[in-house]
Structure 1
Amino acid sequence: MRIPGVEEIRALHEKHAPTPEAFTIVHTHCEIVWSIAERLLAAPHLAHLDAELVRAGCLLHDIGVYRLYGDDGRLDHENYIRHGVLGHELLTDEGLPETLGRICSHHTGVGLTRDDIEAQRLPLPLADYLPATAEERLVMYADKFHTKSKPSVFLTPDEYTAHISRFGEEKGAAFQALRTEFGDPDLPRSVPCRGVEEDADPAAVHA
Protein backbone atom coordinates (compact mmCIF):
# COMPACT_ATOMS: atom_id res chain seq x y z
CA MET A 1 0.00 0.00 0.00
CA ARG A 2 1.36 3.39 -1.00
CA ILE A 3 1.11 5.94 1.80
CA PRO A 4 1.77 9.56 0.77
CA GLY A 5 4.42 11.52 2.63
CA VAL A 6 4.08 14.84 4.42
CA GLU A 7 4.97 17.01 1.42
CA GLU A 8 2.64 15.14 -0.93
CA ILE A 9 -0.18 15.52 1.58
CA ARG A 10 0.50 19.24 1.96
CA ALA A 11 0.38 19.56 -1.83
CA LEU A 12 -3.02 17.84 -1.85
CA HIS A 13 -4.32 20.34 0.70
CA GLU A 14 -2.97 23.23 -1.37
CA LYS A 15 -4.54 21.76 -4.51
CA HIS A 16 -8.03 21.39 -3.05
CA ALA A 17 -8.22 24.32 -0.60
CA PRO A 18 -10.47 26.99 -2.17
CA THR A 19 -8.70 29.83 -0.32
CA PRO A 20 -5.49 30.35 1.65
CA GLU A 21 -7.61 30.83 4.79
CA ALA A 22 -9.35 27.48 4.29
CA PHE A 23 -5.95 25.83 3.82
CA THR A 24 -4.64 27.33 7.06
CA ILE A 25 -7.72 26.29 9.03
CA VAL A 26 -7.89 22.71 7.82
CA HIS A 27 -4.21 21.87 7.36
CA THR A 28 -3.21 23.37 10.71
CA HIS A 29 -5.92 21.34 12.46
CA CYS A 30 -4.75 18.17 10.73
CA GLU A 31 -1.15 18.83 11.81
CA ILE A 32 -2.28 19.35 15.40
CA VAL A 33 -4.28 16.11 15.34
CA TRP A 34 -1.14 14.30 14.14
CA SER A 35 0.89 15.86 16.97
CA ILE A 36 -1.68 14.49 19.45
CA ALA A 37 -1.66 11.03 17.88
CA GLU A 38 2.13 11.01 17.77
CA ARG A 39 2.28 11.60 21.53
CA LEU A 40 -0.19 8.81 22.14
CA LEU A 41 1.78 6.45 19.88
CA ALA A 42 4.76 6.80 22.22
CA ALA A 43 3.00 4.47 24.67
CA PRO A 44 4.68 1.03 24.59
CA HIS A 45 1.39 -0.83 24.23
CA LEU A 46 0.74 1.00 20.92
CA ALA A 47 4.10 0.16 19.34
CA HIS A 48 2.46 -2.36 17.00
CA LEU A 49 0.38 0.31 15.23
CA ASP A 50 1.35 1.55 11.76
CA ALA A 51 2.62 5.03 12.65
CA GLU A 52 3.06 6.00 8.99
CA LEU A 53 -0.59 5.20 8.28
CA VAL A 54 -1.73 7.07 11.39
CA ARG A 55 0.29 10.11 10.36
CA ALA A 56 -1.17 10.15 6.85
CA GLY A 57 -4.66 9.54 8.22
CA CYS A 58 -4.37 12.44 10.67
CA LEU A 59 -3.03 14.78 7.99
CA LEU A 60 -5.80 13.86 5.55
CA HIS A 61 -8.84 13.15 7.73
CA ASP A 62 -10.50 16.55 7.21
CA ILE A 63 -9.52 17.18 3.58
CA GLY A 64 -13.16 16.75 2.55
CA VAL A 65 -14.02 20.03 4.31
CA TYR A 66 -12.72 21.86 1.23
CA ARG A 67 -15.61 20.46 -0.83
CA LEU A 68 -18.06 22.22 1.48
CA TYR A 69 -16.89 25.72 0.59
CA GLY A 70 -19.11 27.57 -1.85
CA ASP A 71 -18.07 29.96 -4.59
CA ASP A 72 -18.65 32.78 -2.11
CA GLY A 73 -16.03 31.32 0.23
CA ARG A 74 -18.59 30.36 2.85
CA LEU A 75 -18.63 26.96 4.54
CA ASP A 76 -21.81 24.89 4.21
CA HIS A 77 -22.41 24.27 7.92
CA GLU A 78 -25.68 22.42 7.34
CA ASN A 79 -23.87 19.67 5.47
CA TYR A 80 -20.66 19.72 7.51
CA ILE A 81 -21.23 16.17 8.68
CA ARG A 82 -20.66 15.10 5.05
CA HIS A 83 -17.00 16.17 5.14
CA GLY A 84 -15.84 12.66 6.00
CA VAL A 85 -17.53 10.93 3.06
CA LEU A 86 -16.49 13.82 0.81
CA GLY A 87 -12.90 13.32 1.91
CA HIS A 88 -13.18 9.61 1.13
CA GLU A 89 -14.42 10.47 -2.37
CA LEU A 90 -11.65 13.03 -2.86
CA LEU A 91 -8.90 10.57 -1.93
CA THR A 92 -10.45 7.92 -4.18
CA ASP A 93 -10.44 10.44 -7.04
CA GLU A 94 -6.75 11.07 -6.31
CA GLY A 95 -5.97 7.37 -6.55
CA LEU A 96 -5.05 6.96 -2.89
CA PRO A 97 -5.67 3.70 -0.98
CA GLU A 98 -9.12 2.79 0.34
CA THR A 99 -7.50 2.45 3.76
CA LEU A 100 -6.92 6.21 3.85
CA GLY A 101 -10.36 6.95 2.43
CA ARG A 102 -11.94 4.96 5.25
CA ILE A 103 -10.12 7.06 7.84
CA CYS A 104 -11.83 10.13 6.36
CA SER A 105 -15.32 8.65 6.29
CA HIS A 106 -15.07 6.83 9.62
CA HIS A 107 -13.71 9.51 11.99
CA THR A 108 -16.87 11.46 12.81
CA GLY A 109 -17.70 11.69 16.52
CA VAL A 110 -17.09 8.27 18.03
CA GLY A 111 -18.51 6.57 14.96
CA LEU A 112 -21.87 6.89 13.23
CA THR A 113 -24.33 4.05 12.80
CA ARG A 114 -27.22 3.49 10.42
CA ASP A 115 -29.52 4.17 13.38
CA ASP A 116 -27.80 7.54 14.00
CA ILE A 117 -28.28 8.51 10.37
CA GLU A 118 -31.94 7.51 10.32
CA ALA A 119 -32.82 8.97 13.73
CA GLN A 120 -31.09 12.30 13.09
CA ARG A 121 -31.96 12.37 9.38
CA LEU A 122 -28.35 13.01 8.52
CA PRO A 123 -27.42 13.79 4.89
CA LEU A 124 -25.28 10.68 4.51
CA PRO A 125 -25.57 7.40 2.60
CA LEU A 126 -27.25 4.90 4.91
CA ALA A 127 -24.44 2.79 6.35
CA ASP A 128 -22.38 2.20 9.48
CA TYR A 129 -19.34 4.48 9.74
CA LEU A 130 -17.54 2.80 12.61
CA PRO A 131 -13.74 2.50 12.79
CA ALA A 132 -12.63 -1.10 12.35
CA THR A 133 -8.88 -0.90 13.01
CA ALA A 134 -6.74 0.53 15.80
CA GLU A 135 -5.27 3.04 13.35
CA GLU A 136 -8.75 4.27 12.37
CA ARG A 137 -9.74 4.51 16.02
CA LEU A 138 -6.59 6.43 16.96
CA VAL A 139 -7.09 9.07 14.26
CA MET A 140 -10.72 9.47 15.30
CA TYR A 141 -9.73 9.70 18.97
CA ALA A 142 -6.91 12.24 18.48
CA ASP A 143 -9.28 14.43 16.46
CA LYS A 144 -11.58 14.82 19.43
CA PHE A 145 -9.14 17.00 21.39
CA HIS A 146 -8.83 19.98 19.04
CA THR A 147 -11.53 22.22 17.60
CA LYS A 148 -11.60 24.50 14.59
CA SER A 149 -13.82 26.95 16.47
CA LYS A 150 -13.03 30.63 17.01
CA PRO A 151 -10.76 30.72 18.90
CA SER A 152 -9.37 27.25 18.33
CA VAL A 153 -8.94 25.29 21.57
CA PHE A 154 -7.89 21.96 22.95
CA LEU A 155 -10.55 19.93 24.78
CA THR A 156 -9.77 17.79 27.80
CA PRO A 157 -11.00 14.20 27.80
CA ASP A 158 -13.60 15.11 30.43
CA GLU A 159 -14.83 18.04 28.35
CA TYR A 160 -15.27 15.87 25.30
CA THR A 161 -16.96 13.18 27.38
CA ALA A 162 -19.52 15.74 28.53
CA HIS A 163 -20.01 16.92 24.95
CA ILE A 164 -20.48 13.54 23.29
CA SER A 165 -22.66 12.19 26.10
CA ARG A 166 -25.34 14.66 25.00
CA PHE A 167 -25.92 12.35 22.05
CA GLY A 168 -26.61 9.30 24.24
CA GLU A 169 -25.04 7.20 26.96
CA GLU A 170 -23.69 4.78 24.35
CA LYS A 171 -21.66 7.59 22.78
CA GLY A 172 -20.12 8.49 26.12
CA ALA A 173 -19.34 4.83 26.74
CA ALA A 174 -17.71 4.52 23.30
CA PHE A 175 -15.44 7.47 24.07
CA GLN A 176 -14.51 5.99 27.44
CA ALA A 177 -13.51 2.79 25.64
CA LEU A 178 -11.19 4.85 23.42
CA ARG A 179 -9.67 6.48 26.50
CA THR A 180 -8.99 3.04 27.93
CA GLU A 181 -7.44 1.84 24.66
CA PHE A 182 -5.21 4.84 23.96
CA GLY A 183 -4.87 6.80 27.21
CA ASP A 184 -5.42 10.50 27.88
CA PRO A 185 -3.16 12.94 25.98
CA ASP A 186 -1.27 15.65 27.85
CA LEU A 187 -2.39 18.86 26.14
CA PRO A 188 -2.22 22.64 26.60
CA ARG A 189 -5.47 24.55 26.92
CA SER A 190 -5.31 26.69 23.79
CA VAL A 191 -3.50 27.05 20.50
CA PRO A 192 -2.88 30.17 18.37
CA CYS A 193 -4.98 29.02 15.44
CA ARG A 194 -8.17 30.55 14.03
CA GLY A 195 -10.85 28.51 12.34
CA VAL A 196 -14.49 27.95 11.49
CA GLU A 197 -17.16 26.90 13.93
CA GLU A 198 -16.98 23.12 13.93
CA ASP A 199 -20.16 22.58 15.96
CA ALA A 200 -22.43 24.83 13.90
CA ASP A 201 -24.55 21.78 13.11
CA PRO A 202 -25.38 19.83 16.29
CA ALA A 203 -25.96 16.72 14.17
CA ALA A 204 -22.25 16.71 13.35
CA VAL A 205 -21.58 14.96 16.69
CA HIS A 206 -18.39 17.00 16.90
CA ALA A 207 -16.57 15.79 13.83
Structure 2
Amino acid sequence: MIDYFKLIHRHIPVETPSYQLYVVHVCLVTERALRIARKMGLDGRRCRFIEEAGMLHDIGICRVYEPRLGCRGQLPYLAHGVVGRQILEAEGLPDHALVAERHVGVGISAREVREARLPLPEQDMLPKTLEEQILTWSDLFYNKVPDVLWEERTLSQVELRVQQYGEGPWRRFQHLKKRILPYDLVAQVE
Protein backbone atom coordinates (compact mmCIF):
# COMPACT_ATOMS: atom_id res chain seq x y z
CA MET A 1 0.00 0.00 0.00
CA ILE A 2 1.28 3.41 -0.96
CA ASP A 3 1.60 6.04 1.78
CA TYR A 4 -0.39 8.58 -0.19
CA PHE A 5 -0.47 11.10 2.65
CA LYS A 6 3.32 11.19 2.68
CA LEU A 7 3.26 11.86 -1.05
CA ILE A 8 0.56 14.52 -0.72
CA HIS A 9 2.54 16.25 2.05
CA ARG A 10 5.61 16.30 -0.18
CA HIS A 11 3.75 18.35 -2.80
CA ILE A 12 1.04 20.27 -0.91
CA PRO A 13 2.14 21.78 2.43
CA VAL A 14 -0.21 20.91 5.29
CA GLU A 15 -0.47 24.51 6.50
CA THR A 16 -1.87 25.80 3.18
CA PRO A 17 -5.56 26.38 2.39
CA SER A 18 -5.17 24.23 -0.73
CA TYR A 19 -4.18 21.23 1.43
CA GLN A 20 -7.37 21.42 3.48
CA LEU A 21 -9.56 21.71 0.38
CA TYR A 22 -7.58 19.00 -1.40
CA VAL A 23 -7.91 16.43 1.37
CA VAL A 24 -11.66 16.90 1.82
CA HIS A 25 -12.25 16.70 -1.93
CA VAL A 26 -10.16 13.60 -2.58
CA CYS A 27 -11.65 11.82 0.44
CA LEU A 28 -15.18 12.45 -0.83
CA VAL A 29 -14.30 11.30 -4.35
CA THR A 30 -12.42 8.24 -3.10
CA GLU A 31 -15.20 7.18 -0.73
CA ARG A 32 -17.77 7.32 -3.52
CA ALA A 33 -15.48 5.47 -5.94
CA LEU A 34 -14.80 2.72 -3.40
CA ARG A 35 -18.51 2.32 -2.69
CA ILE A 36 -19.13 1.86 -6.42
CA ALA A 37 -16.16 -0.50 -6.85
CA ARG A 38 -17.31 -2.72 -4.01
CA LYS A 39 -20.87 -2.78 -5.37
CA MET A 40 -19.37 -3.89 -8.71
CA GLY A 41 -17.52 -6.68 -6.91
CA LEU A 42 -13.98 -5.46 -7.65
CA ASP A 43 -11.35 -7.39 -5.70
CA GLY A 44 -9.16 -6.01 -2.92
CA ARG A 45 -6.23 -5.22 -5.20
CA ARG A 46 -8.37 -3.11 -7.53
CA CYS A 47 -10.08 -1.37 -4.62
CA ARG A 48 -6.67 -0.53 -3.09
CA PHE A 49 -5.62 0.98 -6.40
CA ILE A 50 -8.82 3.06 -6.51
CA GLU A 51 -8.15 4.25 -2.96
CA GLU A 52 -4.56 5.26 -3.76
CA ALA A 53 -5.32 6.82 -7.14
CA GLY A 54 -8.38 8.58 -5.76
CA MET A 55 -6.35 10.19 -3.00
CA LEU A 56 -3.74 11.32 -5.54
CA HIS A 57 -5.84 12.19 -8.61
CA ASP A 58 -5.67 15.98 -8.10
CA ILE A 59 -2.04 16.21 -6.91
CA GLY A 60 -1.28 18.45 -9.90
CA ILE A 61 -3.10 21.38 -8.29
CA CYS A 62 0.16 22.14 -6.49
CA ARG A 63 1.54 23.72 -9.68
CA VAL A 64 -1.51 25.53 -11.05
CA TYR A 65 -2.92 28.97 -10.38
CA GLU A 66 -6.38 28.98 -8.83
CA PRO A 67 -6.79 31.58 -6.07
CA ARG A 68 -10.14 30.18 -4.88
CA LEU A 69 -8.29 26.99 -3.94
CA GLY A 70 -5.20 28.70 -2.56
CA CYS A 71 -3.15 27.40 -5.50
CA ARG A 72 -0.31 29.78 -6.40
CA GLY A 73 1.43 27.93 -9.22
CA GLN A 74 2.03 29.26 -12.71
CA LEU A 75 -0.03 26.93 -14.90
CA PRO A 76 -3.74 27.15 -15.80
CA TYR A 77 -6.04 25.02 -13.64
CA LEU A 78 -6.97 22.83 -16.61
CA ALA A 79 -3.36 21.57 -16.65
CA HIS A 80 -3.63 19.96 -13.21
CA GLY A 81 -4.27 16.54 -14.75
CA VAL A 82 -1.21 16.65 -17.00
CA VAL A 83 0.92 18.01 -14.15
CA GLY A 84 -0.44 15.32 -11.86
CA ARG A 85 0.68 12.69 -14.34
CA GLN A 86 4.20 14.16 -14.41
CA ILE A 87 4.39 14.23 -10.61
CA LEU A 88 3.12 10.68 -10.15
CA GLU A 89 5.35 9.29 -12.90
CA ALA A 90 8.33 10.94 -11.18
CA GLU A 91 7.19 9.23 -7.96
CA GLY A 92 7.25 5.85 -9.75
CA LEU A 93 3.47 5.47 -10.02
CA PRO A 94 2.70 5.23 -13.75
CA ASP A 95 -0.80 3.73 -13.39
CA HIS A 96 -1.83 6.31 -10.79
CA ALA A 97 -0.38 8.97 -13.11
CA LEU A 98 -2.81 7.98 -15.85
CA VAL A 99 -5.76 8.48 -13.51
CA ALA A 100 -4.51 11.98 -12.70
CA GLU A 101 -4.19 12.84 -16.37
CA ARG A 102 -7.44 11.26 -17.59
CA HIS A 103 -9.94 12.24 -14.88
CA VAL A 104 -10.39 15.90 -15.86
CA GLY A 105 -14.02 16.51 -16.85
CA VAL A 106 -14.94 13.24 -18.50
CA GLY A 107 -11.57 13.09 -20.20
CA ILE A 108 -10.33 15.32 -22.99
CA SER A 109 -9.63 14.17 -26.56
CA ALA A 110 -6.77 15.40 -28.75
CA ARG A 111 -9.39 16.80 -31.10
CA GLU A 112 -10.99 18.80 -28.27
CA VAL A 113 -7.58 20.14 -27.24
CA ARG A 114 -6.86 21.19 -30.82
CA GLU A 115 -10.27 22.67 -31.64
CA ALA A 116 -10.63 24.60 -28.38
CA ARG A 117 -6.92 25.52 -28.33
CA LEU A 118 -6.66 24.27 -24.78
CA PRO A 119 -3.34 24.80 -22.96
CA LEU A 120 -2.67 21.05 -22.94
CA PRO A 121 -0.70 18.53 -24.99
CA GLU A 122 -2.57 17.55 -28.14
CA GLN A 123 -3.26 13.94 -27.14
CA ASP A 124 -6.14 11.83 -25.92
CA MET A 125 -6.52 11.98 -22.14
CA LEU A 126 -9.55 9.73 -21.81
CA PRO A 127 -10.38 7.32 -18.97
CA LYS A 128 -9.89 3.80 -20.31
CA THR A 129 -9.77 1.31 -17.45
CA LEU A 130 -12.76 0.62 -15.23
CA GLU A 131 -10.84 2.10 -12.29
CA GLU A 132 -10.16 5.32 -14.25
CA GLN A 133 -13.82 5.50 -15.26
CA ILE A 134 -15.10 5.00 -11.71
CA LEU A 135 -12.83 7.76 -10.39
CA THR A 136 -13.71 10.11 -13.26
CA TRP A 137 -17.42 9.54 -12.60
CA SER A 138 -17.02 10.04 -8.85
CA ASP A 139 -15.04 13.26 -9.29
CA LEU A 140 -17.91 14.83 -11.25
CA PHE A 141 -20.05 14.99 -8.11
CA TYR A 142 -17.70 17.12 -5.98
CA ASN A 143 -16.00 20.50 -6.10
CA LYS A 144 -12.91 21.86 -4.36
CA VAL A 145 -14.24 25.42 -4.02
CA PRO A 146 -14.69 26.30 -0.30
CA ASP A 147 -18.32 27.48 -0.51
CA VAL A 148 -19.54 24.18 -1.95
CA LEU A 149 -16.79 21.82 -0.80
CA TRP A 150 -19.12 19.58 1.20
CA GLU A 151 -22.04 19.74 -1.23
CA GLU A 152 -22.63 16.76 -3.46
CA ARG A 153 -23.95 17.56 -6.91
CA THR A 154 -27.07 15.73 -8.01
CA LEU A 155 -27.03 13.66 -11.18
CA SER A 156 -29.08 16.39 -12.90
CA GLN A 157 -26.53 19.04 -11.90
CA VAL A 158 -23.69 16.88 -13.22
CA GLU A 159 -25.53 16.32 -16.49
CA LEU A 160 -26.12 20.06 -16.96
CA ARG A 161 -22.42 20.76 -16.36
CA VAL A 162 -21.21 18.07 -18.74
CA GLN A 163 -23.60 19.15 -21.50
CA GLN A 164 -21.83 22.51 -21.51
CA TYR A 165 -18.54 20.80 -22.44
CA GLY A 166 -19.85 19.76 -25.86
CA GLU A 167 -20.92 16.70 -27.81
CA GLY A 168 -17.83 14.52 -27.28
CA PRO A 169 -17.78 14.90 -23.50
CA TRP A 170 -21.55 14.39 -23.40
CA ARG A 171 -21.22 11.07 -25.29
CA ARG A 172 -18.44 9.96 -22.94
CA PHE A 173 -20.57 10.89 -19.95
CA GLN A 174 -23.48 8.85 -21.31
CA HIS A 175 -21.14 5.87 -21.66
CA LEU A 176 -19.94 6.31 -18.06
CA LYS A 177 -23.51 6.71 -16.85
CA LYS A 178 -24.62 3.50 -18.54
CA ARG A 179 -21.68 1.59 -17.10
CA ILE A 180 -21.51 3.04 -13.57
CA LEU A 181 -24.90 4.47 -12.56
CA PRO A 182 -26.42 1.04 -11.79
CA TYR A 183 -23.77 0.70 -9.05
CA ASP A 184 -23.95 4.29 -7.73
CA LEU A 185 -26.97 4.14 -5.47
CA VAL A 186 -26.49 7.73 -4.27
CA ALA A 187 -26.72 9.16 -7.80
CA GLN A 188 -29.89 7.16 -8.44
CA VAL A 189 -31.70 9.04 -5.66
CA GLU A 190 -32.61 12.68 -6.31
The TM-score range, normalised by the shorter chain, is 0.7 to 0.9
State how far apart, in whole Å, the 1-side matches of 2:74 and 2:137 are: 22
Aligned match of 1:133 in 129, 133, 140?
129
Name the structure with the higher helix share: 2
CA distance in 1, matches of 2:81, 2:142: 17
Change (3 A) 1:53 1:74: closer
Q: 1:79 aligns with which of 67, 76, 88?
A: 76
Matches within 5 A, 1:165-180: 165-180=163-178
Q: 8 Å contact 1:39–1:185 — kept in the other structure?
A: no
- 1:129-171 deviations in whole A, cap 9, x for unaligned? 0112111111111111111122322111121111111122332
Map of 1:63-142 to 2, 5 A cutoff? Answer: 63-69=59-65, 74-75=71-72, 79-94=76-91, 96-142=92-138
State percent identity of aligned pairs.
26
Match of 1:60 among 44, 56, 59: 56
Distance in 1 separating the partners of 2:132 and 2:140: 13
Structure 2 alignment gaps of length 5 or more: none
The CA deviation at 1:14 is: 1.4
> Which one-letter code corresponds to 2:104 in the other structure?
T
User: Structure with the greater relative contact order (CA < 8 A, sep ≥ 6): 1 or 2?
Assistant: 1
Pairwise CA distance, 1:35: 0.7
Q: Which runs of structure 1 show a deviation greater than 3 angstroms over 4 or more consecutive aligned residues? A: 73-78
Q: TM-score, normalised by structure 1?
A: 0.78
Do the aligned partners of 1:161 and 1:176 also contact (CA within 8 Å) in 2?
no
Distance 2:174 2:74 in 1: 28
In structure 1, how many angstroms separate the alpha carbons of the residues matched to 2:170 and 2:104? 14
**Partners of 2:102 and 2:7 in 1: how far apart?**
20
- 5+ residue gaps in structure 1? 188-207
Residue in 2 that maps onto 1:164: 162
Cα deviation for residue 176 of structure 1 reads 2.0
Taking structure 2 as the reference length, the TM-score comes to 0.85
Q: Secondary structure at the match of 2:143?
A: coil
1 CA distance for matches of 2:81 and 2:157?
23
Pair 178,135 (structure 1): closer, same or farther in 2 beyond 3 Å? same
Specify the alignment match of 1:205 in structure 2: none
Decide whether the 8 Å contact of 2:38 with 2:47 is kept in 1: no
Does the 8 Å contact 2:62/2:73 carry over to 1?
Answer: no
Instruction: Count residues with an aligned counterpart.
Output: 178
